[in-house]
Chains A and B, each alone.
Chain A
Amino acid sequence: MNEFIQHTINGLALGSIYALVALGYTMVFGVLQLINFAHGDIFMVGSFVGLYFIRWFMPNVEPSLLTTIIVILVAMVGSATVGVIIEKFAYRPLRKAPRINILITAIGVSLLLEYGGQLIFGASPQFFPDILPRKQIDLGGAIYLDSNQVTIFLVSFVLMLVLQFLVFKTQFGRAMRAISHSLETANLIGINVNKVILITFIIGSSLAGAAGVLYGVAYPKIDPLLGLLPGLKAFIAAVLGGIGNVTGAVIGAILLGLSETYVAGYISSTYRDALAFLILILVLLLRPAGLLGTKKIEKV
């Protein structure tokens, strides 16, 4: 039983990391209907921006909440810049192209960031410094909770609420939803489509940047290929929850994190990734709209 509780805690923690990445993923998909393969790599860029910022400007800083917030903000700016460049130079020229072309471009951009990253940052894994004060909480019965796990869980939950507000309560959110419904119509009713998409990219990418730093805090080993798997997992999570749906992304991510941890705990970790893909296949075949996808109105 204790083991089960520990697995559950770990699964929730893993899920909230996926959720951080999935939120940005689902935002971009919601507006552009594009599987932004490069999202995982923008997330990687966020980690590295954070790392280099710490190295250059605050090498001997003591772990504190303030430091973490500063690093996160810097990483968000860095990632958003990359996101904007990608949207302007790679995706915008293809706005009217067949979807497959855009998807292939996304794959190309993703490969470019990964291998470019290896050239710039080096291929070796690097250590991400401890910037967040952490504490081990003993829950008794040999069950442990790490303060980082709680932080990340809370951050993803709060971000979800913020996004939810943004999408449903603001002028910008209305414009986003209009574009998501139909790009042409949105254009006709006077929405500046390019601007809204650009802002969506900025939000999505800076979310990825924040996630990148938190990922570094949780798993302090970062390398240029780190975005690949979390990117795919985040996509799976988003599909599971109903792609384009903010709440769905978080729920999907938590469910994915939990099931992966249970499989690794009770069956074999070798099949952990296979399970994730199996979930993807089953969801797409049996319920392509995802768990929360039925309510069309909720679609971003």
Chain B
Amino acid sequence: MKILSKFFLLCAILTLVSCNKGGDDKIMVGYFGSMTGAEATFGVSTRDGVLLAIEEWNKAGGVLGKQIEIKAYDNQGKPEEARLSVEKLINADNVIAVLGEVASTRSLAAAPVAQQNKVPMISPSSTNPLVTQKGDYIFRVCFIDPFQGEVMAKFAFNSLKKKKAAILRDSKSDYSMGLATYFEKTFTALGGEIVGDEKYVSGDVDFKAQLTNLKSKGPEFIFVPGYYTEVGLIARQAKEQGISVPLLGGDGWDSPELVSIGGKSMEGNFFSNHYTTEDPRPEVQNFIKNYEARFGSRPNALAASGYDAARVLFEAIKRANSVEGPKLRDAIAATKEFQGVTGIITLNEQRDATKSAVVLEVKDGQFKYLETVNP
């Protein structure tokens, strides 16, 4: 019995001890993401982008003369863990701002905490419109679902001149459902026709049944607004089922793994993205070079967004010349024409980024720039 209560006490003490306050010589920034569990790859990539930004800034002398330190918490992909880690970041670690999450579901769970405590939160890639509606301390540096859905609908209708679309969406992913909905709206408004609409669940590996159905509907292209984790396999299986029409998608496609998994089947497919690696701007080229040097792999869109979110924050700290919540908030809100890797970012009234999207084509295993679509 005694040993047990001691063990219990030890646990309690450990928790208490684990709350350490950032020193005066440091600026504490919080990050929360899914770094273990089924969606671990998203959280890890984003964190790496954030880390790179911090290391670069620190090398250049930090911000306001102080070094930046990151506190990164894993939420295992669970919304309740996301909320709890933000509570801890804000209340126990006293971070001045929070970066995260990728998934809108977890951003939605955590945003009220940041809002209530008046600590700015910048989501790198939560695209659901609801996220920033949680309050005036919640920002994002990515575009939102309606915009991206629109981009691809217009591209397909105007540039590719296709009239018959099929959709294959991920019913478990809010992002995918959102994109599909807005794509459908715009495409039909333009005069196109949706001939088939099928669903899958992220984590699935077999999409043949859905593809067989879509094939029989005779679409001119298939819109697959999912993550690269599934799209590579979908492209493969589409070819195996004798589907030769192109696939279209969104920024969730952007990863080197897409081409390695999808292989030749990915050729001739299109997706919208924040940026293109062909962009000659030094921000982009340096980012790619440094990321590869630091982490040994090519960055994906999530890493780029994480990198931008962190840099938008640091710029704002610099402009605000303060780390106090309200001042910092105002400075972030005033972000204008920020030269991000993922585009030129201006935050609008709704605290969403307005930036242009690019459409890329998969060609010879590379993502080739096709056109830029402005909001």
Residues on A lying within 8 angstroms of B by beta carbon are: 2-3, 6-7, 10-11, 13-14, 115, 118, 122-127, 130, 136, 138, 142, 144, 146, 219-221, 223, 225-226, 229, 260-262, 264-265, 268-270, 272-273
Contacts and interface: CB of A to CB of B under 8 A. Distances in A.
A130 to B, nearest CB: 7
Nearest to A10: B208
Interface in B241-262: 241-242, 257, 260-261
A269 B204 contact: yes
Contacts of A229: 203
A6 B238 CA distance: 13
B233 A221 contact: yes
A182 to B, nearest CB: 38
Given A123-B35, A261-B209, A270 B171 contact: yes
Contact of A265 (B37, B199, B210, B260): B210
Given A124-B41, A127-B260, A144 B205 contact: no
25 contacts: A6-B208, A7-B209, A118-B40, A122-B44, A123-B44, A124-B40, A124-B45, A124-B257, A125-B229, A126-B257, A127-B260, A127-B261, A144-B241, A219-B205, A220-B233, A220-B263, A221-B205, A221-B257, A223-B229, A261-B206, A261-B209, A262-B209, A265-B210, A269-B199, A269-B201
Interface in B184-207: 198-201, 203-206
B159 interface: no
B203 A125 contact: no
A268 B36 contact: no
Contacts of B340: none
Given A223-B41, A223-B229, 6 more contacts: A3-B213, A10-B208, A125-B261, A220-B232, A220-B233, A269-B210
Query: Shortest 5 CB-CB distances between A and B: which pairs?
Result: A123-B40, A264-B209, A127-B260, A124-B41, A10-B208
A240 B232 CA distance: 32
Contacts of A2: 216
Contacts of B213: 3, 265
Interface of B: 35-38, 40-41, 44-45, 171, 198-201, 203-206, 208-210, 212-213, 215-216, 229, 232-233, 236, 239-242, 257, 260-261, 263
A118 B203 contact: no
B37 to A, nearest CB: 8
B102 to A, nearest CB: 13
Contacts of B233: 219-221
A178 B198 CA distance: 50
A122 B45 CA distance: 11
A220 B35 contact: no
Nearest to A128: B261
Contact of B201 (A126, A144, A273): A273
A145 to B, nearest CB: 9
Nearest to A145: B240
Nearest to A13: B208
Nearest to B201: A270
B242 A138 contact: yes
A181 B78 CA distance: 43
A6 B257 contact: no
B158 to A, nearest CB: 30
Contacts of B208: 6, 10, 13-14, 261
A188 B206 CA distance: 48
A115 B210 contact: no
Contact of B212 (A10, A123, A273): A10
A52 to B, nearest CB: 15
Contacts of B198: 269
A4 B261 CA distance: 28
Contacts of B212: 3, 6-7, 10, 265
B172 to A, nearest CB: 8
Contacts of B209: 7, 10-11, 260-262, 264-265, 269
A144 B243 CA distance: 10
Nearest to A268: B199
A123 B36 contact: yes
A27 to B, nearest CB: 24
Contacts of B216: 2-3
B41 A123 contact: yes
B55 to A, nearest CB: 20
Output the residue of B37, B201, B209 with the most chain A CB within 10 A.
B209
Given A126-B257, A221-B232, A142 B242 contact: yes
Contact of B36 (A118, A126, A223, A260): A118
Contact of A142 (B37, B201, B215, B261): B215
A265 B200 CA distance: 11
B83 to A, nearest CB: 22
B304 to A, nearest CB: 16
| Most B C-beta atoms less than 10 A away, residue of A130, A226, A272, A273 | A272
Given A123-B41, A229-B203, A6 B236 contact: no
B231 to A, nearest CB: 10
Nearest to B233: A221
Contacts of B242: 136, 138, 142, 144
